[in-house]
Amino acid sequence: MTQLPSNPDAVRAAPCAGLRIGDPAPDFSARSTAGDIRLSDFRGRWLVLFSHPADFTPVCTTEFVALARAACDFARRDCALMALSVDSLFSHFAWLRMIRDRFDVEVRFPIVEDPTLVIGRAYGMVAPQDNDSGTVRTTFFIDPEGVVRAMTCYPANVGRSTPEMLRTLDALQAVDAGSVLAPANWEPGDDLLQQPSALLDDVFAAPGQTDWFLTQASPGKRK
């Protein structure tokens, strides 16, 4: 059975309109393909929580095959994966058996059942008035403190990019390692950017017009 915390304030802190970057990820306990699970048990490491519209659908199947094959890449970054949909636990089991037999890959990360939409509503994956809607392709990057650091949302007919999920995780971990910024199209090993100065003296003392706010930092580590 899926449960959110009994504290009413905790439930209100997870608005149906969706979460914002910097919000605490709402805790929950539920059944999953890896047994009973609680989100807060993953504190201390990164977690990518993602929803999919339904089991036994073409785009979702390709996503899970790709993510299962990349699971070791996430593990090397000390990041766990957790999936969620409105399907039942036994539907998940049957689907994973089909994926293994058809694609020769085992999906070992937990897939949570959310048939009552309790988790989906808490995370804004479904609208509050929906009663039978499948979740959209929402992805939450949750840091070791349990804080939502990044989110993506795709329609049901467009699959996620596993390399981009890894790149986002790399960028979040790189900027956490120091007071730096990840520029557009940043990849591990590329130069990061320094935080701009907030002092007028630094602005006037900079040798070039952009040097006070656009300066390279040391390269980010390659995983």
Do residues 29 and 70 share a domain? yes
Final residue before a domain boundary, out of 108, 127, 159 = 159
Residue 175 inside a domain? The answer is no
Q: Nearest-CA neighbor of 148 among 51, 63, 27, 9?
A: 27
Do residues 187 and 135 share a domain? no
- The CATH number linked to 13 is 3.40.30.10
Number of domains observed in the structure of the chain: 2
Give me the sign of the Cα torsion angle 184, 59, 126, 146.
negative
Of 63-72, 112-121, 133-142, give the lowest mean pLDDT range: 133-142
Q: Nearest-CA neighbor of 119 among 55, 51, 64, 33?
A: 51
Each residue of 185-195: pLDDT tens digit?
999 999 999 99
Do residues 128 and 201 share a domain? no
Q: Decide if 214 contacts 193 (C-beta within 8 A).
A: yes
pLDDT at 43 over 90: yes
Q: Decide if 142 contacts 23 (C-beta within 8 A).
A: no
Res 127: pLDDT: 58
Give 89's Cβ-side CA count (13 Å radius): 11
Res 175: pLDDT: 94
More confident residue, 5 or 4: 4
Averaged pLDDT, 195-221: 85
Residue 142 inside a domain? The answer is yes
Residue 171 inside a domain? The answer is no
Active site residue 60: yes
Averaged pLDDT, 193-206: 91
Do residues 189 and 126 share a domain? no
Return mean pLDDT, the chain: 88
CA distances from 145 to 8, 9, 22, 39, 45 (A): 22, 19, 11, 12, 8
Helix/strand/coil for 122:
helix
Strand 79-85 relative to strand 111-113, pairing: parallel
Dihedral pair phi/psi, residue 202, rounded to 5°: -70, -35
CA distances from 222 to 126, 169, 170, 191, 201 (A): 36, 12, 8, 11, 35
Report percent pLDDT > 70 for the chain.
Answer: 86
Residue in 16, 60, 72, 153 annotated catalytic: 60
Do residues 32 and 122 share a domain? yes
Res 178: pLDDT: 81
CA distances from 134 to 14, 20, 53 (A): 19, 21, 5
Each residue of 56-108: pLDDT tens digit?
999 999 999 999 999 999 999 999 999 999 999 999 999 999 999 999 999 99
Averaged pLDDT, 124-153: 82
Structural domain harbouring 138? 8-159
Q: Is 7 exposed, middle or buried (0-12, 13-18, 19+ CB in 10 A)?
A: exposed
Do residues 188 and 120 share a domain? no
